[in-house]
Amino acid sequence: MTVNDNPPNVRRIETSRDDAYAFEIVGHITAADMENLYGLLEGAYEVHDRIDVLVIIHDYEGFDWQAAFKEQTMIGKTNALKHIRKYAVAGGPAWMGTTIAFFRPFFSMEMEYFPYEKVEEAWKWLGAEPS
């Protein structure tokens, strides 16, 4: 087995804007994946006070719900609220769109959900492209 046989479930996608960050999430999401994602975002906050984020989810196999309530994940979520200007999710289960629509009025950031088939629209909404 080589390192490439088990790629991480969270991968950063380079974008056309230095203040736009995109991530691909594949498979089953663990606490380690969430910590990796928030670690990457923390690095972005060091460079830019405000950023735009796109999360593309495909081949979704579930989520470790205990990961959502780990201290490090909660800290990451709280810190993200101060720095994210626009947040889009493309793909994943249908309940993600419902969840984003429900929480949208409670946050100052712009939030949108796009079905996986409309990932190009998500990129346009974010105002960035993969590079």
Q: How far is CA 87 from CA 3, 23, 71, 97, in A?
A: 31, 11, 22, 12
**Amino acid symbol at 106:** F
Residue of higher predicted confidence among 128 and 70: 128
109-116: average pLDDT: 96
Q: Give 70's pLDDT tier (boundaries 50, 70, 90).
A: low
Residue of higher predicted confidence among 88 and 107: 88
**Amino acid symbol at 7:** P
Q: Whole-angstrom Cα distance, residue 47 to residue 18?
A: 9
Q: What are the sequence ranges of the domains in the chain? A: 3-126
pLDDT tens across 15-62, in order? 999 999 999 999 988 878 888 888 899 899 999 999 999 999 999 888
Residue 107 has pLDDT above 80, yes or no: yes
Fold of the domain spanning 3-126: Transcription Regulator spoIIAA (3.30.750)
